[in-house]
A and B are shown apart, each in its own frame.
Chain A
Amino acid sequence: MTPAFQRNLARLHRFEDWVLTLLVLVMVVLAGAQIVLRNFFDSGFPWAEPVLRALVLWSAMLGAVIATRDDQHIGLDFIARFAGGTALRVARFVALAFAAALCGAMAWYSWALVQLDREGHTEGVIGIPAWMLELILPVGFGLMALRFLIRSVLPAKAHETLPETGA
């Protein structure tokens, strides 16, 4: 990887982190405000419910993208306890290249879904057309495909352990 590529990748990482933080904070505050409004003021935003559901999908997809770059996806990991060296590298390459291909296919199909809803002018929520809400699918799967390709040739990252909480 060239230095310029790595720099851009790092920039992309930071961008993803910030978008995710923003989405999650909006989700927490909006969902919390909704409870307070409903229980104490007998009101609430009628649009909050569908927006929150969209936020769940968007933040989950971004979480999955970040999980890809950190080697944190859930899978069977016992091979690392039995194999090492070249065998492990080959296994890792095969497994992750397969994941990249699957994500590529999903990016393709979900892009087709976006196109379909765009042409059909499908309604989403509060005036946002459905295809815009669906955009996270091709974007997310596309980013994951790219990450899996990169990770497949690199050695596994050690799982980031939780920081020691006190003591």
Chain B
Amino acid sequence: MIWVIVGLLILLAALGAPLFAILGAIALIGFHMAGQEGIAVAVEFYRLSDMPALIAIPLFTLAGYILAESKTPQRLVRLTNALVGWLPGGLAIVAVLACTLFTAFTGATGVTIIALGAVLYPALRQAHYGEKFSLGLLTASGSLGLLLVPSMPLILYGVVAQQFQTTPPVSIDALFKAGVLPCLLMVVMLGAYSAWHVRNVARPQAAPRGELMAATKDAAWEIPLPFVILIGIYSGKLAASEAAAATALYVLIVTVLIRREIKLAELPRVIRHAMVLVGGILVILGFSLALTNWLIDAEVPEKLFQFLRTHIPESNPFLFLLALNLFLLVFGMLLEGFPAIILLVPLVLPVAVRYGIDPVHLGIIFLANLQLGIFLPPLGINLYIASARFRQPVMTLVRAAVPFFLIMLAATLIITYWPGLSLWLAR
């Protein structure tokens, strides 16, 4: 009987049923079999309104969407270009840095490819960078930045992980601190490879004198933003949710009232775009709250651990991490970032803790792998987004992305097996 239901739900998911409906059905059936009424699922779902950290998600997402629709992407590219564009491979480094900062803010890697790709792709081609190189670079760079404050997937990991009350605890601030060095590692490795790859392309002329000044002035309203968030959070003055509130209000006022790059009449559309994403994620989270309690009551993670232990001894966390990497890559490709976090963290976190892995480090491992999965062939969603954006066949993008994929894979392995890199700033 139970296997018929499981098979049916898997079939429904494959047919394209929304993920939250699948989870809701599992929760209703699970509660029913445990002798509880359906109303208990509604009570669990309602816990969504009882999580103080959650507000950071809609606020940062809204800020990111407003920035994406303003002229901030162009100003960001101009400023980074004035700063590092004169280096060998400068424009490629510009692409990596701009994409990283932008994804950190929107948390949506596809949005970065669409918004920044429009500015960067023509610029890269104009600077005589190869077509294949440019395509691969932008497809890969889109997912950089998920590890950097105030990335929304990182917040989501924290919110989900906090339910487990692990020792040491998973605070969102700790995750933000832990993500910095791993993100830097990825940026440096991609940047170095790019600079090496285009070593034969003529170096661009140094920007005209005064360009740096002009670009800085141009972006004067945006420049304080990362500093306020970084200093606020790293000094402990602002909690993540407070930083989100300050950012959202600031971005709203600057973009709509001061710069007027989004007209008041367009604001409902931008808000709707952002909230459709947030709503879609939070209904999944709501049902997963119900499921998580059920999983814990049924001791599913414990059983999973006991089963795994027969294959991977506790004394060998490296082997466990290797299996985890493979598992996360495949699920990251199938599910994209957000649902993968909501679904997998409740299963993986308790098991990983038993293998002695720090839950904050686990969060960084999660996101590093999801970054890769997002453009892993054949189903990684960003390959398709980039294919639509740059009007190229998917196969071209797959081939173009391979070297970048391998570099980020190497970075992910370093991040996975070197906990100190993540934990040095966080603990």
Q: Which residues of A contact B (CB under 8 A)?
A: 17-18, 20-21, 24-25, 27-29, 31-35, 39, 49, 52-54, 56-57, 59-67, 70, 72-80, 91-92, 94-96, 98-99, 102-103, 105-106, 108-110, 112-113, 116, 133-134, 137, 161-167
Q: Smallest CB-CB separation from B77: which chain A residue?
A: A167
Q: With the chains together, A125 CA to B219 CA distance in Å?
A: 42
CB of B134, distance to nearest CB on chain A (Å): 15
On whether the beta carbons of B74 and A166 are closer than 8 Å, the reply is yes
Q: 9 tightest CB-CB pairs across the interface, nearest first?
A: A63-B279, A32-B249, A63-B275, A31-B245, A64-B279, A73-B18, A95-B17, A60-B282, A57-B49
Given A18-B268, A106-B41, CB of A61 within 8 Å of CB of B280: no
Q: Which residues of B contact A (CB under 8 A)?
A: 12-21, 24-25, 28, 37-39, 41-43, 45-46, 48-52, 54-55, 58-59, 62, 68-71, 73-74, 111, 114-115, 118-119, 122, 237-238, 241-242, 244-246, 248-250, 252, 267-268, 271-284, 334-336, 338-339, 379, 388
On whether the beta carbons of B281 and A102 are closer than 8 Å, the reply is no
Q: With the chains together, A42 CA to B222 CA distance in Å?
A: 27
Given A53-B54, A56-B48, A162-B111, CB of A106 within 8 Å of CB of B42: yes
Given A31-B248, A95-B16, A162-B115, CB of A167 within 8 Å of CB of B122: yes
Q: Smallest CB-CB separation from B342: which chain A residue?
A: A74
Q: With the chains together, A149 CA to B335 CA distance in Å?
A: 25
17 contacts between A and B (CB under 8 A): A17-B272, A21-B268, A53-B52, A56-B58, A70-B276, A73-B18, A76-B334, A79-B16, A94-B15, A95-B12, A102-B24, A102-B25, A109-B37, A109-B39, A113-B46, A161-B114, A165-B68
Given A24-B62, A66-B276, CB of A76 within 8 Å of CB of B16: yes
CB of B356, distance to nearest CB on chain A (Å): 33
In addition to A61-B283, A167-B74, 8 A-B residue pairs with Cβ atoms within 8 Å of each other are A18-B268, A24-B271, A32-B245, A57-B282, A59-B279, A99-B18, A116-B39, A162-B115
| B13 partner, pick from A21, A76, A166, beta carbons under 8 A | A76
CB of A85, distance to nearest CB on chain B (Å): 15
On whether the beta carbons of A95 and B252 are closer than 8 Å, the reply is no
On whether the beta carbons of B71 and A165 are closer than 8 Å, the reply is yes
Given A32-B246, A106-B24, CB of A167 within 8 Å of CB of B17: no
On whether the beta carbons of A56 and B38 are closer than 8 Å, the reply is no
On whether the beta carbons of B73 and A74 are closer than 8 Å, the reply is no
Q: With the chains together, A75 CA to B283 CA distance in Å?
A: 12
B contact residues around A39 at 8 Å (CB):
237
Q: With the chains together, A96 CA to B244 CA distance in Å?
A: 35
| A61 partner, pick from B18, B41, B119, B279, beta carbons under 8 A | B279
On whether the beta carbons of B41 and A73 are closer than 8 Å, the reply is no
Given A78-B379, A110-B45, CB of A98 within 8 Å of CB of B21: yes
CB of B334, distance to nearest CB on chain A (Å): 7
CB of A151, distance to nearest CB on chain B (Å): 11
A contact residues around B52 at 8 Å (CB):
49, 53
On whether the beta carbons of A162 and B17 are closer than 8 Å, the reply is no
On whether the beta carbons of B122 and A28 are closer than 8 Å, the reply is no
Given A24-B271, A53-B50, A74-B280, CB of A80 within 8 Å of CB of B21: no
On whether the beta carbons of B42 and A166 are closer than 8 Å, the reply is no
On whether the beta carbons of A110 and B275 are closer than 8 Å, the reply is no
Q: Smallest CB-CB separation from B381: which chain A residue?
A: A77
A contact residues around B282 at 8 Å (CB):
56-57, 60, 63-64
Q: With the chains together, A32 CA to B59 CA distance in Å?
A: 10
Q: Smallest CB-CB separation from A77: which chain B residue?
A: B16
B contact residues around A61 at 8 Å (CB):
279, 283
